[in-house]
Structure 1
Amino acid sequence: MTESNGSSARDQRVGQQRDGEMPDWEKRFRAPRVSLPEWAEDAPDRALFVSNATGTYELYAWDRATGEQRQVTSRPNGTTDGVLSPDGEWIWWFDDKDGDEFGVWRRQHFHGGEDEIAVPGLDPSYPAGLALGRDGRTAVVGRSTDEDGTTIHLARTGEAPVEIYRHRESAGVGDLSHDGTLIAIEHTEHGDAMHSAVRVLRPDGTPVAELDDTKGGTRELGLEVLGFAPVAGDTRLLVGHQRRGRWEPMVWDVATGEEIDLALELPGDVSAEWYPDGSALLVVHGFEARSELFRYDLARRKLVEIPTPRGTVSAATARPDGTVEYLWSSAAVPPAVRSTSGRVVLDPPGLKCPGSVPVEDVWVDGPGGRIHALVQKPAGATGPFPTVFDIHGGPTWHDSDAFAAAPAAWVDHGYAVIRVNYRGSTGYGRAWTDALKHRVGLIELEDIAAVREWAIASGLADPDRLILTGGSWGGYLTLLGLGTQPDAWTLGIAAVPVADYVTAYHDEMEALKAMDRTLLGGTPEEVPERFEASSPLTYVDQVKAPVFISAGVNDPRCPIRQIENYVKRLESRGAVHEVYRYDAGHGSLVVDERIKQVRLELDFAARHLEAAANPSHRQHA
């Protein structure tokens, strides 16, 4: 066994070659990236974005009128959680300890200065949403702790924060109305953390209205807050719903109770946000791993497509002048912040990110229906290839035709990469997303197995060189797959995984406990057989393949103690494994650290695939 802890100064310098010597896979991580800038509603020339320009992802202020950009935060483990106040005067950012996601909100003036505690009087917690008022002095702050569950507080400058909501189940701040008189929250008081209800409160905490699609015993329909209309005195709230088996927006007038069903004739999941004058919606349509934009005129009930290239729009916003800015990429083309005006909005200087190969779409018949997989393979080469099954996290998420540096690194090294949108993934309808309940993990692995069989039968994948890998929920499925399908995989690489489900439940942040109760139907004490059936630790003695595990020692989502329990069982058997621990939380925002992890994974794969080159080494599943 090999273990590593942290990173030395030499490690931090690894890969700092001159540009001409640096491999493309490393350039993709080092090239400066930017998020879609968030602009202040009442000061649209003031914006906030995230960039890795210094080698760590941090927040930046941007004065669009002068072009001046300024780094706002500078922390060893990076910062990405920030909000710009509507008046453009303040930047709020969440200050946790080394990635543990437990901390407090701080704020800094847009033009700089000392940071200050944003809401004196609130103890550290996990964040549960934030909404800032247009008056410059009001904030609605959501908090989550193991002791209190979720609490929501109204805070005004110079006054002590006032608790306006409390419940043991998970909840969060949705939005604050333009005039500050209405507060929308999402809650799961009914106990189903996958399907929220929406409640609107007054600033004193008294309820105004409720929208709950989980009532009547039907707990398979959820709602989400998309935002109040950005117009003074307007009581319309944009809400996402699942009443027709997929996510769609509707307009709910909180004052009258009127619900305006938009009934958009689009086949996939649909989200939306308001245009700044409240007359139209910017619609984002996600379908089968790709997305597109539309403008929906509310008065005319007319949907007009906004042309974008084929690929994925990961974020979009409508500007006051009517243009739309969006962050777009494809598997082959690196991300850029574009505008319908035809220009690139924010192009960071320095090293340019190399492209990669496009994805190919594959549909495979599986036990629960057709499974969509995205395939990348080395250009100009023919199979069978050593093949990486790169499994996404979530689980309610999906892989898309978007640029990703890690899969591209595998392709550069001669591997085919397959990403599977298993049952539980979003973008394929509510039934597909909700199908993983109770047989958690095992459902997803059935779909991955079906795609594996296709990959071998098609001649794409070499059955003696198959890698199962993923991060977070993908890391969990990796460890579970190595134990339940021990003859199917040559080796496994799991990043920040769930490894011992019972211990993970007891140690993880409160919101994830609620999600696990929903997925498995109760606590480990209430449904022990389900936790046992879904826990990688249950099957650790069946693992045959070499295993590489990386973990953040401060991770609140997949805590380190449950990973150590799994590693000790591997050690007791003398199983081939390597463990890398690093000083961060659920992943790292430091570019050097991320590159180090990828290099360790590539090296582990090369060594152990070479050792497994003899076909007699394994039995084909």
Structure 2
Amino acid sequence: MRITADTLLSMTEKSFVREYLWTPEQQLAFLTARDHGVRYMDGSSSSLTEDPRIPVDFHAELDQGGGSFVAAKSGTYGLAPQALTLYSWTKDGSRFRPVRAQELVLWQTGYDRKTVLARIPPSLGLQIDPRERWLSWISEHGHEEELEIFSRLRQDREVRSVLRVPGFLRNVRWHPDKAMMLYISWPLHDVPWESARLYIADYDMQDLRPVPRAGRPLQPPQVGTVPMSCSEAAFSPCGRYVIALIRTGEWYQFWSYDIARQHWQQISHAQAELAKPPRGAEQPQFALHPHRPLVLGIAAEKGASHFVHYHYATDEYPQKWKAPRTRDSWLDQPRFSPDGRHLSVISASSQSLPGLRSWQYDVDTWYEANRVRLKQPYRAQSQTPLRVEWPSLDGETVHGLLYQPKDGSGPLPLIIAVHGGPVDQVSAGWPAKAKFFTQLGFAFLYVNYRGSWGYGSTYQRALEGRWGLIDAEDVASAVKSLGDQGLIDPNRVGIWGGAAGGMTVLNILIRFPRLIKAAVAVYPYLDLPDLLQRCAPLKRAEMKWALGDCTRDEMLARSPLLRAGRIKTPLALFHGAKDKLVPLEQMQQLQSLLERQGTSVQLKTYEHEGHGWKHETTRYDYARRVTDFFVKSLMETSSSSLALQYGQREQPSQSV
């Protein structure tokens, strides 16, 4: 089989459209995963008219909260990194971490880029108030986070802190008419799905800047025993209501709050997840219609997404509006155009790459307006995942998505992919890795072990205090279940994971030494006590929640580095030399230990990478090595073995 560079890169390519918004001129402005630039297209036309002059220095690191941008009448504002990298040392000088400076930039009509402010601390949650008087963002300051303001009405270009909270601050929203704001906050050592609270605050104007008063919590009446945490909230366009996603029993549900009457009402009762796993980035997961009392959300059921809509003022408007139908199985970031006639969403399916799709509403009917997708790198088979369930070692149900080759027969070799997080979810969108390996004759399983998002509160909270234990058990139990059903060959199973998923991979090899035939671990977490000292506060809170009330010795007992002597499975390790979460010395220590005891191990280090691949040449080389490793380890040595050929002329250019 001949494999091109694009085929391999598709295994590691993230969503084409990472983030987008509607401009006041009815244009769609979006960020792409490949060039990280801002692009514009006509949002109301069926023809795609992209801006040919693209600023390519806007880097969308959404996982860490950077890359947010907003549209205003004056242009499109964004937080972009500067070339300068600062470093800070601890008191003893033993460690350092990179601190990226940022700058506030402005693009006018998509052509001219200028710096508004330089050397802003790493920030997230960029917002502009509805009257376009000021821009605001959130910055971290030790154990506190604060809201900073840049007033467009002042000439001094001074940035001022207007709100500081102990712990985390997210979801700042400004009222469309009144001097009022919303925000979500929770303590530093807590996880958002346990204790994120919604606050509303009035503010006064001083020196052309808002000065918020003390916020008062907004909390609906308690339902059930699960903590009612808030995931996202917004003012309605009319300004009368607050619409919020609040955990209610097993699921996050939509609630409306009448500000004048101070009255809560639950407006959804879905048996599906309406919120996404909280992360550093702020990407709204519901949209409010600009002219109707209507909220459009995305519901996830066992990995697949679909639209849901609710009216929050049913006594004032007839319920005639319906969301468009779509065959896409993964939806993200729904948006209405300013006039309310267009709806857009980032979507994907097992047949189509992630991209931006929009519809036009006319005479109670939706018509597709435009669709922006990458050209598919290879002719992929049309596949729908098999939603599989199996019993865990202690009898609980575990979920996953299984992809099988169409022409495969008999028990197949299996590759299991383990997601990171640890609290995250694999959805039934464009399964790049599964698409690639099923064409090579493998079955491919994505595991959403207990603790994964999207299967209810009880399923997600099952991981609390048991990370490093039940995640490994849930993956291991999948092999026995699928083998008993004759779907896979239990003697030819490979496993693959990165970061938290890489730690799970190593723990499986330690606890179940004869289960796996070949394993790939990408910058895996190796030393948990050391990791907790290095990671960001939000990540640290999630890890401590997942580990529970552990002593240092108990954390070391769950750390793969301490128990790696039990690993006998052939192992391929991949790491970035500039990784500050997992130092290269730890990976080299793991490699040395395994080599001394005779375990087959290979370590590939990329000198210009950190914790995650940034360069195209790295992703190409990484995908090629993983492919060769699994094919040689798991495919039977017979005449039907694959002969992989790589096109040298089609390798990506150097980008280091």
Question: Is 2:315 the counterpart of 1:294?
Answer: no
The 3-state SS of whatever aligns with 1:247 is strand
- 1:332 equivalenced with 2:330 (yes/no): no
> 1: CA distance between counterparts of 2:266 and 2:273?
16
1:104 aligns with 2:110: no
Q: Is the 8 A contact 1:77 1:588 kept in 2?
A: no
- Pick closer, same or farther for the CA change 1:135–1:570 going to 2, 3 Å: farther
Partner of 1:511: 538
Deviation at 1:532, TM superposition (A): 2.4
**Partners of 1:299 and 1:547 in 2: how far apart?**
58
1:8 aligned residue: none
Give the whole-Å Cα distance in 2 for the aligned partners of 1:499 and 1:214: 43
User: What pairs with 1:59-70 in structure 2 (closer than 5 Å)?
Assistant: 59-62=38-41, 64=43, 67-70=49-52
Letter of the 1:134 counterpart: P
How far apart in 2 are the matches of 1:305 and 1:612? 52
Check 1:375–1:237 CA distance in 2 against 1; reply closer, same or farther (3 A cut): same
Distance 1:498 1:252, change over 3 A: farther
1:335-374 map, 5 Å: 335-341=354-360, 342-343=367-368, 345-347=370-372, 354-356=379-381, 357-366=383-392, 367=394, 369-374=396-401
CA 1:350–1:446: 2 relative to 1, 3 Å: closer
Per-residue deviation at 1:519?
A: 2.4
Q: Which residue of 1 aligns with 2:427?
A: 400
Aligned residue number for residue 9 of structure 1: none
Q: Return the match for 2:446 from 414, 419, 422.
A: 419
Distance 1:214 1:546 in 2: 54
What displacement does 1:21 show?
7.2
Relative to structure 1, the CA distance from residue 30 to residue 263 in structure 2 (aligned partners, 3 Å threshold; closer, same or farther) is closer
Q: Per-residue deviation at 1:542?
A: 0.9
Look up the match of 2:26. Answer: 45
The answer to whether the 8 Å contact 2:359/2:369 transfers is no
2:78 to 92, 100, 103: 92
SS class of match (1:545):
coil
Deviation per residue, 1:74-102 (Å, 9 max, x gap): 35987662312343612303317799684
Q: Determine whether 1:223 maps to 2:230.
A: yes
Distance 1:208 1:297 in 2: 28
Q: Do the aligned partners of residues 545 and 521 (structure 1) sit closer, same or farther apart at CA in structure 2, a change above 3 Å counting?
A: same
Shift of 1:368: 5.8
- Distance between the aligned counterparts of 1:533 and 1:229, measured in 2? 50
Paired with 2:490 and 2:458, the residues of 1 have a C-alpha distance of: 32
Q: Distance in 2 between matches of 1:507 and 1:354?
A: 42
Partner of 1:375: 402
- Whether 2:620 is the aligned partner of 1:595: answer yes
Deviation at residue 307 of structure 1 after TM alignment: 1.4
State how far apart, in whole Å, the 2-side matches of 1:209 and 1:25 are: 53
1:450-485 per-residue CA deviation (whole Å, 9 max, x = no partner) reads 211112112222222211112232222112222222
Q: Secondary structure at the match of 2:211?
A: coil
* Bigger Cα displacement from structure 2, 532-541 vs 168-177: 168-177
Choose from 320, 328, 331 the match for 1:313: 331
Distance in structure 2 (CA, Å) of the matches to 1:86 and 1:292: 30
User: CA contact under 8 A between 2:386 and 2:401: conserved in structure 1?
Assistant: yes
Identity of aligned residues (%): 18
Maintained 8 Å contact 2:272/2:301? yes
In the alignment, is the contact (CA less than 8 A) between 1:520 and 1:530 conserved in 2?
no
CA distance in 2: counterparts of 1:155 and 1:368, whole angstroms: 55
Corresponding position: 1:129 with 2:129: no
Letter aligned with residue 332 of structure 2? S
Q: C-alpha displacement at 1:254, in angstroms?
A: 4.8
**Partners in 2 of 1:295 and 1:62 — Cα distance?**
27
Match of 1:3 in 2: none
| Corresponding residue to 2:245 among 240, 246, 250 | 240
The correspondence for 2:185, drawn from 187, 195, 216, is 187
Shift of 1:344: 5.5
Secondary structure of the residue that 1:499 maps to in structure 2? Answer: coil
Give CA-to-partner distance per residue, 1:315-368, whole Å, 9 cap, x none: 322222433222322223333433334335243576666333321121212236
CA distance 1:344–1:329, change in 2 (3 Å):
farther
Letter in 2 for 1:238: I
Deviation digits for residues 119-177 of structure 1 (CA, Å, limit 9, x no counterpart): x574x23x3422222333412211225x3442322222334222233345333243233
> Among residues 135, 154, 162, which one is paired with 2:149 in the alignment?
154
Give the secondary-structure state (helix, strand or coil) at the position aligned to 2:17: coil
2:503 is equivalent to residue 476 of structure 1: yes
Residue 135 to residue 329, structure 1, CA distance change in 2 (3 Å): same
- AA of the residue aligned to 2:299: H
- AA of the residue aligned to 1:129: G
Q: What is aligned with 1:276? A: 290
SS in 2 for 1:372: strand
* Preserved contact between residue 275 and residue 318 of structure 1 (Cα < 8 Å): yes
Q: Distance in 1 between matches of 2:99 and 2:70?
A: 20
One-letter amino acid of the counterpart of residue 104, structure 1: Q
Structure 2: distance between partners of 1:575 and 1:179? 66
User: Which stretch of the first structure deviates more once superposed, 294-303 or 317-326?
Assistant: 294-303
Structure 2 counterpart of 1:494, one-letter code = A
Counterpart code for 2:552: P
Secondary structure of the residue aligned to 1:358 is coil
Query: Retained in 1: the 8 A contact 2:188–2:541?
Result: no
Coordinate RMSD, CA, aligned:
3.6
CA drift at 1:241: 0.9
Q: 1:211 aligns with which of 213, 218, 223?
A: 218
Unaligned runs of 5+ in 1: 1-14, 614-621
Aligned twin of 2:115: 116
Cα distance change on mapping 1:567 and 1:85 into 2, 3 Å: farther
Residue identity in the other structure for 2:342: T
Change (3 A) 1:496 1:257: farther
Q: Verify: 1:322 aligned to 2:313, yes or no.
A: no
Structure having greater relative contact order (Cα 8 Å, sep ≥ 6): 1
Distance in 2, matches of 1:411 and 1:85, equals: 42
1:293 to 1:64, Cα distance in 2 relative to 1, 3 A? closer
2:53·2:111 contact (CA, 8 Å) conserved in 1? Answer: no
Report what 1:11 is aligned to.
none
Identify the residue that residue 94 of structure 2 maps to in structure 1. none
Could you say what secondary structure the match of 1:343 adopts? strand
In the alignment, is the contact (CA less than 8 A) between 1:291 and 1:311 conserved in 2?
Answer: yes
How many angstroms does 1:554 deviate by? 4.3
Structure-1 separation of matches of 2:146 and 2:617 = 37
TM-score by length of 2: 0.79
* 1:368-393 Cα shifts (integer Å, max 9, x gaps): 63222211122111131111011122
Report the counterpart of residue 430 of structure 1 in structure 2.
457
TM-score normalized by the length of structure 1: 0.83
- Residue pairs, 1:383-394, within 5 angstroms: 383-394=410-421
Question: Cα offset for 1:40?
Answer: 3.7
In the alignment, structure 2 segments of 5+ residues that lack a partner are: 86-96, 204-209, 276-284, 361-366, 639-656
Partner amino acid, structure 1, of 2:112: G
| Deviation at residue 246 of structure 1 after TM alignment | 0.6
* 1:25 paired to 2:7: yes
Instruction: After TM superposition, give the deviation of residue 27 of structure 1 in Å.
Output: 7.3
Contact 1:498–1:563, Cα closer than 8 Å, also in 2: no
